[in-house]
Every structure is written in C-alpha cells, then in structure tokens.
Amino acid sequence: MSHALVEFERVTHRYPGGHDVLTDASLSLQMGEMAFLTGASGAGKSTLLKLIARLEIANRGQVRVNGQNVAALAARHVPDYRQHLGLIFQQFNLLYDRSVFDNVALPLRIQGYSDADIARRVRAALDSVGLLNKASVMPIRLSGGEQQRVGIARAVVTKPLLILADEPTGNLDHDTAMGVMELFQRYNRAGVTLLIATHAEELIEQIDGFRVFHLEGGHLSVRQSGEALRHGQR
C-alpha cells in the first residue's frame, strides 16, 4: 500500500512585500504517483516546487517529504536531502563546455560514486532517454528536445525518491513535448514518483488518468487529467 511521499498541510507562503503565493494550501502526493501542477504564469507553481526542494521555506504550515518536516532540516543536512530529488528545468541548465556524458555524470561525481558505477549508471540513464549514441557529443550540438532529455537523464541517474519538473516542455514544440510526457509516464510505470509543473494544460488533457493540482489565487484545487476529452470538450 502506497503512502504519502509529499504532504502540504495548510501551507501559506508570501514573498516580502508581495501577496500570498500560496494560501492555506494542502495536498498529498503518493509514493509512486505521477501528478501535474498547473496554473497561469506567476501562479506559484515554481514556488511550490521550491518549497519541496527546500529552496524556500513556508511562512506557515508544514511541508513534509517522506514524513520529514522539510523546514526543520538543519542547514548542514539540506544538501544530503536534495540528493534524493531529481530536478528538471525549462532552461535545461546544462554545462555547455562538457559532453552529454559528463553532464549526466555530474550528480554522481558530487555524491562520490566510483568511475565504474558512474559509467554504468550514465549509460543506463542515456539509454532510457534514447541518447546513448550521443554520450560524447557536446550539448550545443543537440536539438532542444534532445537537450531536455539530457536534463531528464541527469535527474534520474541517481535513482531519486522524487522527480520535480518545472515547465519541462515550455521550450519544446508539441510533438517533442508529448515525447517528454511519454518518457515521464514510462518512468512512472517503473515506480518513479513525479510532480510536473506546467502551464500547457492542453498537453496534459491528452494524457488520461493523472491527478492535476491547479493553482489559482494562491489556492489549490484537484481534478483528473483527460476530463475535457472524456466530456467531449476541446
């Protein structure tokens, strides 16, 4: 039986001098679940992910990951905590002076894996995104979709507890974006937990049966993806 991996309990967060980005927000993401986080630009999607990653600390309420109150983590334990997260960004955040292999290997090198383990894990991660034949290529020579897949390989190479993706298809055309979403579904079928922030609601309506957390005016609502298709809406 699955348990809640991420829990928000009446979380409120405000930036200095600004409005509440989150107001009394509660959610529960189950171990092994894939869910989407939607809302207009500026609605607070990135902030919610930052609260999970402990890049921000909520003003009120609790954010718990695997039962741990994230805000209560001592500063010295935060890097170790983040090693259990896989982060995927809209802007790819690749190092363009290093090969695809070295980009994917970076978190493993930081964690002190042996060269043999790094080689094995990086090859497996690149194979999972269909880029094993691009290991020695510099990222600048890749398409946007390929660069995003390198970012995904880097996020999964450590076999994280949770993958957080912030607008991972924002710079991609529709077909490439759907390919990325299919890749996420494949990881999810293998047991990976994912929370994917996106404003591309028309994209996730083509994927049936996943929970969608929608942020508007600081408040969260929940529905199932694919509802518009089931009701014949476009």
Residues 118 and 77 grouped into a single domain = no
Instruction: Calculate the average pLDDT of the chain.
Output: 91
Residues 12 and 72 grouped into a single domain = yes
Q: What is the pTM of this model?
A: 0.90
- If one counts the domains in the chain, the total is 2
Residues 16 and 58 grouped into a single domain = yes
Please compute the mean of the pLDDT values over residues 193-222 and round it to a whole number: 91
- pLDDT bracket for residue 234 (50, 70, 90): very low
Q: Residue 154 falls within a domain, yes or no?
A: no
Residues 165 and 217 grouped into a single domain = yes
Residues 33 and 52 grouped into a single domain = yes
pLDDT tens, position by position, 19-28: 789 999 999 9
Cα–Cα dist 168/166, whole Å = 5
Which residue range is the domain that position 116 belongs to?
Answer: 94-149
Q: Residue 137 falls within a domain, yes or no?
A: yes
Query: Is the pLDDT score of 228 beyond 80?
Result: no
Q: Which of 121, 149, 177 is the last residue of a domain?
A: 149
pLDDT tens, position by position, 161-182: 999 999 998 888 888 889 989 9
